[in-house]
Amino acid sequence: MNKRKRLFSLICAICIFSCSCGLGKTTPSADKPIVLGFSQLGDESTWRSQNSRSIISAAEEAGIKIMFDDAMQDPENQIKAIRSFIAYKVDVIAFSPLVETGWDTVLGEAKAAGIPVIIVDRMIDTEDDSLYTCALCSDFDLEGRHAGQFLLDKYRYTEQPIKIVELAGTIDSTPAIGRYEGFRSVISSDSKFEVIFSACGDFMLSKGREIMQQVLELYDPEEIDVLYSHNDDMTFGAIEVMREAGIEPGKDIVIISVDATQRIIDYLRAGTVNCVIECNPNSGPQLMELAKKIVAGEEVEKQIYIKELVFDENSNFNKIADRGY
């Protein structure tokens, strides 16, 4: 376990410990703080680590006691965590679902126990929207459409075919679905765009590397015009492989990446990538506000989208604020 992960686990342990001291309370008040059970899907990316930090620190600032569980990329672990939150009678449950399906039973149990549920970051696929109180998510379809629009604009005056390689996120996860579908809904308006290869890299740097290696075994670099990557970590892996193969990223192959970590913005400034679609990980403060309102019995919107930006090679780089992660 590296230093960063150990520090993170320690923070989680402290949060969980301080939380357990406040359990058994039924009505939150000034001396009986709200208890929030949060199931994080894992720690697969730079984005995810920042999202966890945002949630843990916002809980502390809001005076909310958090039970934080890292499911390590396994939906079964998320189900177990949610069941333990129900058993502990937390005031509110929030979770970031790894995949969209398979949640109805456990959310039915939370509903039966009278515990409100907030879906965070990714969405669930259910016929029964009474199973959650609200969803605070990114608009992943819009992110995909932004990526497509960048290509439409960039290649407006080009007539030759534009061949695209796609590094996709986790199968059945909302970001992978939205970024796949949104992108295609835009590029399909011009037949010169063709996705020649698409594979799932699970949002991980190591898999981005592996897939890019496979791609370069299948295609000559001259056959690839664009790399569209569903997150920055996979992009970092792909860039390493391109450089090892003597390919100049951002010049020989145009790169679009989603997330907007500081490192990818530095790459954008350097011309190593060409377009960055922001996916905002800093949802902690908004989540705490929602938790407080819900516990106080206030009405909240059912679906809330987090605000996100787009940066590309034509942006004014001086106006891009430090990303902070």
Is residue 141 a contact residue for ligand AHR (CB under 6 A)?
A: no
Q: Is the dihedral of CA 154, 156, 161, 164 positive or negative?
A: positive
Q: Pick the closer one to ligand AHR by CB: 48 or 323.
A: 48
Q: Which of residues 142-171 bind ligand AHR (CB under 6 A)?
A: none
40, 45, 54, 133: which one contacts ligand AHR (CB under 6 A)?
A: 45
Distance, CA of 65 to chain centre: 24
CA distances from 175 to 134, 170, 286 (A): 18, 8, 20
Q: Which of residues 171-210 bind ligand AHR (CB under 6 A)?
A: 175, 203
43, 91, 121, 141: which one contacts ligand AHR (CB under 6 A)?
A: 121
Q: Pick the closer one to ligand AHR by CB: 33 or 148.
A: 148
Partners of 158 in beta bridges? none
**Residue whose pair of structure tokens reads 């075994």 in the numeric block:** 217
Residues 14 and 17: their CA atoms lie apart, in Å, by: 5
Q: Pick the closer one to ligand AHR by CB: 19 or 238.
A: 238
Helix axes 46-62, 232-244, angle to 10 degrees: 150
Residues 107 and 116: their CA atoms lie apart, in Å, by: 9
Residues 153 and 171: their CA atoms lie apart, in Å, by: 29
8, 38, 47, 311: which one contacts ligand AHR (CB under 6 A)?
A: 47
Is residue 70 a contact residue for ligand AHR (CB under 6 A)?
A: no
For the record, the structure tokens of 258 come out as 């989603």
Candidates 170, 174, 229, 173; CA nearest to 197 is 229
Q: Pick the closer one to ligand AHR by CB: 33 or 42.
A: 42
Minimal distance, residue 90 CB to ligand AHR, in Å:
23
Q: Pick the closer one to ligand AHR by CB: 91 or 232.
A: 232
Q: Which of residues 19-38 bind ligand AHR (CB under 6 A)?
A: none
**Residue whose pair of structure tokens reads 């100049």 in the numeric block:** 248
Is residue 258 a contact residue for ligand AHR (CB under 6 A)?
A: yes
Minimal distance, residue 51 CB to ligand AHR, in Å:
8
Candidates 31, 32, 34, 35; CA nearest to 67 is 35
Is residue 116 a contact residue for ligand AHR (CB under 6 A)?
A: no
The interface region with ligand AHR, picked from 44-52, 193-201, 212-220, 313-321 by CB under 6 A, is 44-52
Q: Measured between alpha carbons, how far apart are the two ends of the chain, in Å?
A: 20
Residues 232 and 222: their CA atoms lie apart, in Å, by: 23
Q: Pick the closer one to ligand AHR by CB: 258 or 291.
A: 258
Is residue 229 a contact residue for ligand AHR (CB under 6 A)?
A: no
List interacting residues with ligand AHR (CB under 6 A): 44-45, 47-48, 121-122, 175, 203, 231, 258-259, 279
